[in-house]
Structure 1
Amino acid sequence: MTSSRPKPPRLLYIAFYFPPSRASGVYRARATANHFAAAGWDVTVFAAPLRFLYHVIGSVDEKLSETVDPRIKVERPELDLSRWENELHNMTWLEGTLPEAAKKLRQWREDRYFPEVYASWARDSVTKALRMHKTEKFDAVLATGNPFAAFAAAWEINKKTGIPYVADYRDSWTLDLFSDEPAFPPEHAAWRWEKRIIGDSSATVFVNNALRAWHADRYPASADRMLVVPNGWDPDLLEVAAGDGAESANRPLRFGYLGTVTSKQPVVEMAEAFRQAREYPDLHDAELNIHGHLGFFKQSHAAFLPLLGLDAKGEPDPESDHGLRLRGPVSKTEVAGVYEHNDVLVFLAAGGKYVTSGKIFEYMAAGKPIVSVHAPEIAAREVLEGYPLWFTADSLDPGQVAKSMVEAGRAARTLTPQQQAEARAYADRFQRDKLLDPLEHAIRGMVRRPIPAAEVQA
C-alpha cells in the first residue's frame, strides 16, 4: 500500500499591478509569482481588471505577460470604475443625472470599507477568495501594496478563514517617501488599518532596512515579524552582452536613463547637469537617451517635455540642443538592448533616506558605469556603495553632478572586461530569486498541513 503524496501548497497572491500592467511594482510581483510557482506552489493571482489597465490608465506591456509562468492562474476581481467613467452611456442613472450624489455615495461606500479608491476591488477579492477557498483551500495569502486595499483584503480573508497572510510593502503607505514625514494626519483611518494589518499578519515585508526600522519603531510589538526582501534584477529579462571601452572609442558617448520619468524626480537638475557636462571636451558631443514613459498616465507626456528642453513633438531645439533624446517606451523584454546601447547609465531617482528603487539592481547587473542624480541620503546608497563603477556628487547641484557625469564618461571610455566582470559579480548577489528564497521558506513554514518539500522547477 502506498501513501498518496500531499498536494502542493496553495498560495493566493493579491497583486493589483500584474502583467500586462507596466507599473513600476509589477516586476516584483511577476518575479514573486514565478518564484513561488517554480518552488512547487499552486499560485493564484488576483490582479487589476484589464479594462482599468487598458482604458483608464493606458499603461500596459503586453510582452511582459509572456514571461509569466503558465502554471499561474490569474483572476481579475471587479473594480468600480465609475469615478473614471466619462461616457454617459456607460453610467448608471444616478451617475448620469445626479453626479454629486453618486460621488458622495461612492465615497461613503469606500470609506465604510477602506480609505482608498480601490476598496471595491478589495471587497470583490474577498468574495472571490472565499468562494474559491470553499472549492479548494488556500494555505497562505501574500498581498503586495500599493494599492493598500490588497492588505485589507488579506486581513479580512484571514479573519473569515484563519489563513495566514503576509503583507509585502513594496511601497510605503503611511510614510511619505518624498518628505520623510507621515503621509496622513493622526486621525486618518489609514493608521487604524495599518495597525491591525501589521498586528495580525504572520509577517510584514519591506524593501530596505530603513523602512523596516521606521515601521518597527511605530509598531514594536510586531517588529520580530518584520522581514527585509530587497528588490533585485531578473536574469530571464536581462542578458546584456559583455563589452569594453573600445566600443565607444570613435563615437560620441551615450548616457542612458531607463524608466518612467515622474514629477518627483530631479528632472530639471539632470537636464541642466548634462548641459553643463557637455561643456567639457570629453562630453561635447555626448547624448542622454531617455528610454521610457513620461509620467504614469497617457495624458502626462506633454508636461515633461519643456523640463527636458524638448518641443511639443519631443524634439530638441536645433539652436539650443543639450543632447537629450527622447527614445520612447521599452518593453521589459527588450531592456537588455537599451543597456547594451548606452555607455553610462543615469540613476535618476526621487525621494530620500527610505528610497532604494528597483531600477538600480538592473543597472548594476549591466556592468556599466552608473552616475547618480538623486538626494545624497537616499537608501539606495546601501546598495550602491559596494558597486565598483558608481559615480556620485553627493549633491543635486547641477555643476557637481556634471563633474560626476564627466568622470563616469571617462570610465566608460577605458572600461575593461575585468572591470565589467567585477561589477557584474557584485550585482549577482541581488538576483531576484536569491532574494526571494527567504520569503518563500518563511511562508512555507506557515502552512498548517503536510506539504511536499520545496522543489525548484525550471
Structure 2
Amino acid sequence: MGTHILDSTSSAAEQSPAAKRLWIFSYWFPPVNEVGSSRAVAMARYFTARGWQVTVIAGASEAVPQTFVTDLSGFDVHYVPDSWLTRSSSFKPGRGSIAHRLSTALRLLSWPDHIRPVAQAMKRRARDLLRQLPAPDVVLSTALPFSVHAAARDTARQCGALFVADNRDIWARNPYKLTAPFYQSLDSSYERQMLASADLVVAVSEGMSDYYRATYPALADKVITVMNGVDAGIDECDDHVRDPARLRLVYTGILYGERRDVTPLLRAAQRLRSKVGIDFYGSEPEIVAQLAADFPDVAIVDRGKVPRAEALRAQCAADALIMVVGTAPWEDTLLPGKLFEYIGSGRPIIALANPGSDSGKVIAGYELGIATTQEDAIADFLARLAADGMASKTAVPAALERAHQLRILEDRLEAMLVS
C-alpha cells in the first residue's frame, strides 16, 4: 500500500513468491498533483491487478500540491524527499522574481537535470530494498525527468533485471528543456547511451516512436508505443447540463507562454454571437490575466490550481474542452495524458494542433471533436456547438482504454522474460 511521504511498508514482499516482480521508478507519483503521476500510478495498478508484485520508488516533490487523492493499495510505495538542489530549483508559485531567477540559473547549470540528486537517492533506496526483498524481474523508469532512467538502469544491472525506459517526452531535443548551451552537445550522446542500455524503450505515440527509430536506428527493434489511455472510472459525465445562455469551455493545465498559441480560439470565440466563457485551471496566472485583457469580449476566468478530482468535474461540466498542442514538427508527435483525461469526460475536444499530428489523428479517427489552428474552422465548430450542443460520448473506444495500452507493454515483457 502507499506509505507516508518518508516511510515504507513491505506488503508486496508478502505476496506469492511465484509472482513476477516489477519495480517502478517515477519522480512524479500521487499524491503529487502532476500529470506525470497518472501514468506511473496506472502502471502500478494495472500490473498489480494482473498478479505482479509491484514496488514503486517515487519522488516526493515539495513544489507541487499534494492533492492527487487516489487508491494506492496493493503495492508498496517508497518515497524519497527532494534534495536542496531540487527544492531550490523548483518553480513554486508565489516566489519572488529573485527566487525565480535563482531557480532558473540552477536548472540551467544542472545536468542532466535538477532532479539528479533525488534520482541518486532513489537508487540508494533501491539498493537498500534489494537487501530486504526478492530481486525484481523488471525495473521500469518513467521520464521525464530523464535522470530517473539512470537510477533504474543501475538498479537493473545490479540485480540482473530487464530495464525498461518509458518516455512521456523526448529529452535531448526537447525545446522546453532548460539547459546551458555548453551542455547541449552532451545531451544527444547521453540520451543515445541511456536508451541503448535499455532492454525496451517505450514511447507514448507513434510519432515519438518514429522519432526514436529515425534518430537512433540501432535502437529501432526495441522501441514500442504504449499510449496513455483513459483510466477506468473517470468516464462518468452523463450529468452534463447545457446552459443555453452561455457556451462554457474549459482548459486544464499549463499554457507555456508563447510556445502554445491559444489566440485562434479566442478570436473565433469573439466572433460568436453567443456568450463564450473559458475557465482556466492550473494555468499561469499572468498569462491568463493577459489573455483576459486582450480579449475582453470573452469571459475568461482563472480558477487556479485545484485538486485533480475538481479538475475532472470541471471537464465533465464543460460544453467543450480545450487542448493546445502546438504546431512545430516535434509537437506533432505529442499525445499528452491530458487528451485521454478529456476523452474520459466524453465532452467534445477543441485541439489547437495540426490535423495530421498524432493528437489530431486520434481526435479525427474517433470523432472526438476538432483539431485545427484555423480560426474559421474553430468558429464554425463553436457555432454548431452553441446552436445544437453535443451529447457526451457514452463509451470510450476500447483501443484508447488504459488497460488496452498497458496490455501491449505486459505482452512484450512476458515474451522477453520467457526468452
**Structure 1's 200 and 85: CA in aligned 2 closer, same or farther, altered over 3 A?**
closer
CA-based RMSD of the aligned residues comes to: 3.2
Cα deviation 1:338-357 (Å, max 9, x = unaligned): 23322222223335311122
* 8 Å contact kept, 1:13–1:143: yes
Structure 1 partner of 2:41: 30
**Structure 1's 260 and 227: CA in aligned 2 closer, same or farther, altered over 3 A?**
same
Structure 2 partner of 1:308: 292
Structure 2 partner of 1:293: 282
SS of 2:33's partner is coil
TM-score normalised by structure 2 residue count: 0.81
* Pairwise CA distance, 1:213: 0.8
For 2:311 and 2:174, locate their aligned partners in 1 and report how far apart those are by CA, in whole Å.
30
SS of 1:22's partner is coil
* Pairwise CA distance, 1:399: 4.8
2:62 is equivalent to residue 39 of structure 1: no
Structure 2 partner of 1:322: 298
Structure 2 partner of 1:439: 409
For 2:264 and 2:43, locate their aligned partners in 1 and report how far apart those are by CA, in whole Å.
35
For 1:187 and 1:288, locate their aligned partners in 2 and report how far apart those are by CA, in whole Å.
38
Cα deviation 1:95-133 (Å, max 9, x = unaligned): xxxx9xxx8xx96xx65xxx2212212222222212211
For 2:256 and 2:16, locate their aligned partners in 1 and report how far apart those are by CA, in whole Å.
50
For 1:198 and 1:250, locate their aligned partners in 2 and report how far apart those are by CA, in whole Å.
52
Cα deviation 1:168-222 (Å, max 9, x = unaligned): 001111233679xxx9889632222222222121110001111101111122222
Structure 2 partner of 1:259: 253
* 8 Å contact kept, 2:251–2:321: yes
SS of 1:257's partner is strand
Runs of at least 5 residues in structure 1 that lack an aligned partner in the other structure: 87-98, 296-300, 311-315, 450-458
Cα deviation 1:398-427 (Å, max 9, x = unaligned): 454333322333341xx46xxx4xx44453
Task: Spell out the pairing of 1:7-406 with structure 2 (5 A cutoff).
Answer: 7-49=18-60, 53-54=61-62, 57=63, 59-62=64-67, 64-65=68-69, 67-82=70-85, 84-85=87-88, 115-136=112-133, 137-176=135-174, 188-241=185-238, 247-248=241-242, 250-263=244-257, 264-277=259-272, 280=273, 283=274, 285-290=275-280, 292-295=281-284, 301-309=285-293, 320-351=296-327, 352-392=331-371, 394-396=372-374, 398-406=375-383
SS of 2:142's partner is strand
The code of the aligned residue for 1:362 comes to E
For 1:117 and 1:174, locate their aligned partners in 2 and report how far apart those are by CA, in whole Å.
15
State the percentage of identical aligned residues.
23
For 2:365 and 2:418, locate their aligned partners in 1 and report how far apart those are by CA, in whole Å.
41
Residue 397 of structure 2, aligned match among 408, 420, 427: 427
SS of 2:362's partner is helix
* 8 Å contact kept, 2:80–2:121: yes
Cα deviation 1:266-305 (Å, max 9, x = unaligned): 134433332233xx3xx2x232222x1123xxxxx33431
* 8 Å contact kept, 2:24–2:139: yes
SS of 1:122's partner is helix
For 1:302 and 1:146, locate their aligned partners in 2 and report how far apart those are by CA, in whole Å.
26
**Structure 1's 447 and 229: CA in aligned 2 closer, same or farther, altered over 3 A?**
same
For 1:122 and 1:448, locate their aligned partners in 2 and report how far apart those are by CA, in whole Å.
30
Which gives a bigger RCO, structure 1 or 2 (Cα 8 Å, sep 6+)? 1
* Pairwise CA distance, 1:330: 3.6
Runs of at least 5 residues in structure 2 that lack an aligned partner in the other structure: 1-14, 90-101
* 8 Å contact kept, 1:361–1:427: no
For 1:336 and 1:189, locate their aligned partners in 2 and report how far apart those are by CA, in whole Å.
40
* 8 Å contact kept, 1:369–1:411: no
* Pairwise CA distance, 1:147: 0.5
The code of the aligned residue for 1:221 comes to A
Structure 1 partner of 2:97: none
Cα deviation 1:325-370 (Å, max 9, x = unaligned): 2333342223443233222222233353111222222323333332
* 8 Å contact kept, 2:260–2:324: yes
In terms of Rg, which structure is larger? 1
The code of the aligned residue for 1:254 comes to R
Count of aligned pairs:
383
Cα deviation 1:34-76 (Å, max 9, x = unaligned): 1111112221211113xxx33xx2x2242x24x2331221112
**Structure 1's 160 and 184: CA in aligned 2 closer, same or farther, altered over 3 A?**
farther
For 1:368 and 1:411, locate their aligned partners in 2 and report how far apart those are by CA, in whole Å.
14
Structure 2 partner of 1:453: none
For 2:182 and 2:85, locate their aligned partners in 1 and report how far apart those are by CA, in whole Å.
28
SS of 1:40's partner is coil
Structure 2 partner of 1:89: none
